[in-house]
Amino acid sequence: MTDGWSSALLTDQYELTMVQGALHSGAAHRRTVFEMFARRLPETRRYGVVAGTGRFLEALERFRFDPEALDYLSRAGIVDDLTLKWLADYRFSGDIWGYAEGDCYFPGSPILVVEGTFAEAVILETLALSVYNHDCAIASAASRMVTAAGERPLIEMGSRRTHEMAAVAAARAAHLAGFATTSNLEAGRRYGVPTAGTSAHSFTLLHDSERHAFSAQLEALGNGTTLLVDTYDVVRAVNCGIELAGTELGGVRIDSGDLGPLAERVRRLLDEQGAADTRIVVTGDLDEYAIQALAIAPVDGYGVGTALVTGSGTPTASLVYKLVARAHGDDPAEPLAPVAKRSVGKPSRGGRKWGVRRFDDDGTASTELVYDHEPELGPLDRPLLRRLVAGGEIVGREPLSEARERHARAVKELPMAAQRMSRGEPAIPTSFEQRVNA
Amino acid sequence: MTDGWSSALLTDQYELTMVQGALHSGAAHRRTVFEMFARRLPETRRYGVVAGTGRFLEALERFRFDPEALDYLSRAGIVDDLTLKWLADYRFSGDIWGYAEGDCYFPGSPILVVEGTFAEAVILETLALSVYNHDCAIASAASRMVTAAGERPLIEMGSRRTHEMAAVAAARAAHLAGFATTSNLEAGRRYGVPTAGTSAHSFTLLHDSERHAFSAQLEALGNGTTLLVDTYDVVRAVNCGIELAGTELGGVRIDSGDLGPLAERVRRLLDEQGAADTRIVVTGDLDEYAIQALAIAPVDGYGVGTALVTGSGTPTASLVYKLVARAHGDDPAEPLAPVAKRSVGKPSRGGRKWGVRRFDDDGTASTELVYDHEPELGPLDRPLLRRLVAGGEIVGREPLSEARERHARAVKELPMAAQRMSRGEPAIPTSFEQRVNA
């Protein structure tokens, strides 16, 4: 759908003017380390979910200033000719490490570590943050909904409530976090997310009667389809569906009203008529709390829209991308010096970090360790950074299914507190481990 | 950047399965009217801002099922061959009216009216809602920030806090609503939004000293540039900037701390040294309330990020797209019958609507009139729907600057209450005008 596109202008202007400034001062080629991390989690999150890695690597590959982009930058007078020339040749040539997609993160976790010259690393800031801030926010909300839903499948159906391309990424992030399916077809095509959806109220209203609409749908999509039963009267609609499709009717969907009591009533109605296998799907402004409240209702699946794509109150993950170390000159042997802005109330720690998760004997995660030096791992420690880019070459690609499986495992490893819907502290504490005599 | 792309799969699966069902029942070709409207405004909005029209028309033009899309739909078994054939030939051939981009809207305002066969009109639902729900939410938040800022210019700089493509649309929506500039380069290239941005903390930290960094920036970008002065010590940084650039220094930016008192102090410092024309720009987690609170501070411009791109608490506009009328058969002379879902607490009014804004003698808007029939206009009435698509041909394109100017006028026409930052009722009431004996 977007073959041949360049991601290079999905960037704040100041990244390019900083490159220009640093080319003039000569500091552009100093070796640097930039890190992406969250200073804190939102109050309603016990853990964050790393998402966007696959999309970032795809966008990195397309981060090229093509003639059209260069022409714009030149015409608009945004950078000078020296900088344009540098941009025309731009290829990221450094190394990138990151937390594996689907893993959990905590305050201070270095979920992305970018090593390269200042110019080549700073220029990725906006794009990297856009991708991760969006996708992590959605996946972190989705993961809680998956917890609330227990064994029942979730359908992502929020495309209409967010930007049309954000919708595709949201469907991907939700699937990664455990949603079963999405309504979004482009997410199906592009990322292989299983898709779902049958009909809306307009389909019933279009026809001369509900019966007419149901017959048309059953004929076109088969008896296994899901009928939307709340356009006029739910009981009448369910009875009509069973009359037409028999006990083979795949499912009914309730999109409005008191979902719990309605589901009870519909379940009784279906069971009385022998349609014990007909599933009840509920939709309509659900969030993790509403899902949890429906745990005792006879519901077989949930559709979630607005709350999912808006991150259930937290539409962005507040990840930052900071310079944490740099060389003083061009000597490749010189060790990098840690740097940090002087900040009140904003803990910024200089120096490259290593993230490690420590486990108890029973396999439960106990601490997120963030080292400012390469640590020696204990037997119950898991290193969290894996190589995504080596010498400019992307080496961290993986199928979305791997991230999905990893996420399911990562959540299972957390203490029970991680599953709480209430506000509170991160599920495990972060411990910053400084080198002795550093 | 995305030439040749198709928007057709940015769609919920059920739109296509409904087409399949209606092709089977024969109802697919019934003439219909779909309308987009908001049932209510968020509590913190006195008016909504129509935004996304230009982007929707662009996406409509690209709404074609190309071989790649058809191949996916076929392989995934989403629709049958009859439907695939219909999709392959799909071109919207109907008429679309809409509120002009940049105009205000209120509960019930029919901001988009789509007339066509069921199949050709229903299939646009998801895409239209995605575009408008995002863009209207951002523009509606932006407009309040513009009010709060008064004559002072606003810079949009939220790209890193939202999906990378949503960022481009957000920059466009913010400019439409009155923001002066954006940091987003793709919004500059694609929509001609003026861009801004000079440097971040990493640029200062990269260099051996702040003085070194400032010299580099001044040399590369000229004395008119804006220096970021809060990396270490604001007073020292401002003094250093003046020492290096003299009184020609374009501006200084403060991104953290107590912005009001800091701005006061920096203004005194600059004035004492004769740099009366050096501007002070403040950034750092600003929203409309923080902007308003800084009204008495000596600030020359505001940069807004997170709050803008997340719609300042309301990231989506809750617009819906509903079937409101349809024919019973294929007779083109038959009048369309109004339809509406039976809903408790969700006012859905059947029949095609006409929106009209009524003004007082002094030119202040007094009422939003929503007619279910073509109204006779009084001398102080302004019809709000303009033709965007005629017989499938897009006729409603206009430069973004026109929408921007229209928005400035539309806000000025509203009663003073529209400018309040507090929670409350819409600035003008909506009156639904039914045909007598309808």
pLDDT in tens, A286-305: 999 999 999 999 999 999 99
Is B73 in the A-facing interface, judged by CB distances under 8 Å? yes
- One domain for residues A295 and A156: yes
The DSSP letter of residue A195 is B
Interface of B with A in 18-37 (CB under 8 A): 18, 20-25, 27, 30, 32, 34
Contact across the interface for B202 and A322, Cβ inside 8 Å: yes
What separation in angstroms does the CA of B368 have from each of A97, A112, A123, B230, B359?
A: 56, 51, 48, 48, 9
Alpha helices in A123-254 (DSSP H): 125-149, 164-176, 185-191, 201-206, 210-221, 234-245
Q: Give tens-digit pLDDT for A19-29.
A: 999 999 999 99
CA pseudo-torsion sign B392, B395, B398, B404: negative
3-class DSSP state of A109:
coil
Tell whether B7 is covered by a domain: no
- One domain for residues B93 and B165: no
- One domain for residues B300 and B423: no
Model confidence at A409: pLDDT above 60:
yes
Choose, out of A185, A198, A226, A254, the residue to mutate when testing the contact with B (most B CBs < 10 Å): A185
What separation in angstroms does the CA of A294 have from each of A256, A263, A290, A311, A390?
A: 14, 9, 6, 20, 47
Model confidence at B346: pLDDT above 90:
no
Nearest CA distance, B363 vs chain A (angstrom): 35
How buried is A205 (Cβ within 10 angstroms: 0-12 exposed, 13-18 middle, 19+ buried)?
A: buried
Separation of alpha carbons B250 and A299, rounded Å: 62
Chain A residues within 8 A of B20 when measuring between CB atoms:
220-221
Separation of alpha carbons A327 and A335, rounded Å: 7
Q: What is the pLDDT of residue A1?
A: 39
Interface of B with A in 257-316 (CB under 8 A): 257, 306, 309-310, 315-316
Separation of alpha carbons A62 and A59, rounded Å: 5
Other beta carbons within 10 angstroms of residue A385's beta carbon come to 19
Chain B residues within 8 A of A86 when measuring between CB atoms:
none
Contact present, B36 and A217 (Cβ < 8 Å)? no
Contact across the interface for A221 and B9, Cβ inside 8 Å: no
- One domain for residues B77 and B101: yes
Percent of chain A past pLDDT 90, that is, above it, reads 93
Other beta carbons within 10 angstroms of residue B4's beta carbon come to 11
Q: Which of A275-289, A330-344, B213-227 has the lowest mean pLDDT?
A: A330-344
Residue (of A320, A324, A355) closest to A106 by Cα position: A355
Q: What are the φ/ψ torsions at residue B313 (nearest 5 degrees)?
A: 95, -15
Residue where a domain stops, chosen among B287, B312, B337: B312
Is B233 in the A-facing interface, judged by CB distances under 8 Å? yes
- One domain for residues A197 and A227: yes
Q: What are the φ/ψ torsions at residue B324 (nearest 5 degrees)?
A: -115, -15
Q: What is the pLDDT of residue B94?
A: 98
Residue (of A122, A12, A132, A65) closest to B171 by Cα position: A12
Separation of alpha carbons A429 and B160, rounded Å: 27
Q: Of B27, B72, B217, which has the smallest distance from its Cβ to A21's Cβ? A: B217
Q: What is the mean pLDDT of residues A91-115?
A: 98
Q: What is the pLDDT of residue B331?
A: 80
Q: What is the pLDDT of residue B419?
A: 93
CA dihedral A38→A100→A3→B125, nearest 10 degrees, is -60
Percent of chain B past pLDDT 90, that is, above it, reads 93
Q: Of A78, A199, A346, which has the smallest distance from its Cβ to B21's Cβ? A: A199
Choose, out of B118, B130, B230, the residue to mutate when testing the contact with A (most A CBs < 10 Å): B130
Is B432 in the A-facing interface, judged by CB distances under 8 Å? no
Domain that holds residue B109: 13-138+314-433
Domain count, chain B: 2
Q: Which residue has the higher pLDDT, A358 or B434?
A: A358
Separation of alpha carbons B326 and A392, rounded Å: 58
3-class DSSP state of B97:
strand
- One domain for residues B350 and B307: no
Tell whether B3 is covered by a domain: no
In this structure, what CATH number is given to the domain that contains residue B238? 3.20.20.70
- One domain for residues B378 and B241: no
Q: Give tens-digit pLDDT for A197-234.
A: 999 999 999 999 999 999 999 999 999 999 999 999 99
Q: What is the pLDDT of residue B1?
A: 39
How buried is B425 (Cβ within 10 angstroms: 0-12 exposed, 13-18 middle, 19+ buried)?
A: exposed
Chain A residues within 8 A of B65 when measuring between CB atoms:
none
Is A223 in the B-facing interface, judged by CB distances under 8 Å? no
Model confidence at B141: pLDDT above 50:
yes
Nearest CA distance, B324 vs chain A (angstrom): 9
The DSSP letter of residue B18 is H
Residue type, A391: G
Q: What is the pLDDT of residue A5?
A: 81
Helix (H) or strand (E) holding A399: none
Nearest CA distance, A26 vs chain B (angstrom): 9
Q: Of A164, A185, A232, which has the smallest distance from its Cβ to B13's Cβ? A: A185
Residue type, A203: F
Q: What is the pLDDT of residue A256?
A: 94
Is A416 in the B-facing interface, judged by CB distances under 8 Å? no
Q: What is the pLDDT of residue B341?
A: 81
3-class DSSP state of B288:
helix
Is A77 in the B-facing interface, judged by CB distances under 8 Å? no
- One domain for residues B123 and B272: no
Chain B residues within 8 A of A164 when measuring between CB atoms:
7, 10, 59, 127, 130-131, 134
Tell whether B259 is covered by a domain: yes
Confidence class for position A365, pLDDT limits 50, 70, 90: very high
Choose, out of B160, B231, B233, the residue to mutate when testing the contact with A (most A CBs < 10 Å): B160
Cross-strand pairs, A358: A367, A381
Choose, out of B163, B168, B189, B322, the residue to mutate when testing the contact with A (most A CBs < 10 Å): B163
Model confidence at B320: pLDDT above 90:
yes
Q: What are the φ/ψ torsions at residue A404 (nearest 5 degrees)?
A: -65, -45
Contact across the interface for B20 and A208, Cβ inside 8 Å: no
Cross-strand pairs, A369: A356, A431
Chain B residues within 8 A of A213 when measuring between CB atoms:
21, 25
Is A224 in the B-facing interface, judged by CB distances under 8 Å? no
Residue type, A251: G
Nearest CA distance, A377 vs chain B (angstrom): 32
- One domain for residues A218 and A133: no
Q: Give tens-digit pLDDT for B278-305.
A: 999 999 999 999 999 999 999 999 999 9
Contact present, B307 and B287 (Cβ < 8 Å)? yes
What separation in angstroms does the CA of A293 have from each of A288, A289, A300, A321, B245?
A: 9, 6, 14, 38, 63
Determine the residue of chain B that is closest to A81 in CA distance. Answer: B220
Tell whether A411 is covered by a domain: yes
Tell whether A3 is covered by a domain: no
- One domain for residues B23 and B131: yes
Contact across the interface for B216 and A340, Cβ inside 8 Å: no
Chain B residues within 8 A of A208 when measuring between CB atoms:
328
Q: Give tens-digit pLDDT for A150-185.
A: 999 999 999 999 999 999 999 999 999 999 999 999
Chain A residues within 8 A of B212 when measuring between CB atoms:
25
Q: Give tens-digit pLDDT for A57-82.
A: 999 999 999 999 999 999 999 999 99
What separation in angstroms does the CA of A149 have from each of A102, B81, B378?
A: 19, 36, 55
Model confidence at A2: pLDDT above 60:
no
Contact present, B192 and B420 (Cβ < 8 Å)? no
- One domain for residues A227 and A277: yes
Tell whether A143 is covered by a domain: no
Contact across the interface for B125 and A160, Cβ inside 8 Å: yes
3-class DSSP state of B353:
coil
In this structure, what CATH number is given to the domain that contains residue A405? 3.20.140.10
CA dihedral A9→A15→A18→A19, nearest 10 degrees, is -50
Chain B residues within 8 A of A78 when measuring between CB atoms:
185, 188, 195
Is B223 in the A-facing interface, judged by CB distances under 8 Å? no
Nearest CA distance, B270 vs chain A (angstrom): 23
Residue where a domain stops, chosen among A311, A339, A360: A311
Choose, out of A12, A30, A118, A285, the residue to mutate when testing the contact with B (most B CBs < 10 Å): A12
Contact across the interface for B162 and A133, Cβ inside 8 Å: yes
Alpha helices in A224-319 (DSSP H): 234-245, 259-272, 288-293, 306-309
Q: What is the pLDDT of residue B2?
A: 46
Q: Give tens-digit pLDDT for B11-53.
A: 999 999 999 999 999 999 999 999 999 999 999 999 999 999 9
Tell whether A7 is covered by a domain: no
Percent of chain B past pLDDT 70, that is, above it, reads 97
- One domain for residues A161 and A295: yes
Contact across the interface for B342 and A231, Cβ inside 8 Å: yes
Confidence class for position B79, pLDDT limits 50, 70, 90: very high
Residues 6+ apart with CB under 8 A from B14: A183, A197, A198, A199, A200
Q: Of A1, A72, A203, which has the smallest distance from its Cβ to B21's Cβ? A: A203
Q: What are the φ/ψ torsions at residue B52 (nearest 5 degrees)?
A: 115, -10
Query: Which tokens in the block code for residue B2?
Result: 């995305």
Is A354 in the B-facing interface, judged by CB distances under 8 Å? no
Residue (of B25, B43, B113) closest to B389 by Cα position: B113
Residue where a domain stops, chosen among A255, A281, A311: A311
Q: Give tens-digit pLDDT for A366-397.
A: 999 999 999 999 999 999 999 999 999 999 99
Contact across the interface for B256 and A6, Cβ inside 8 Å: no
Tell whether A2 is covered by a domain: no
Indicate the average pLDDT of chain B.
96
CA atoms within 13 A on the CB side of B373: 9
Model confidence at A435: pLDDT above 90:
no
Q: Of A24, A321, A343, which has the smallest distance from its Cβ to B256's Cβ? A: A343
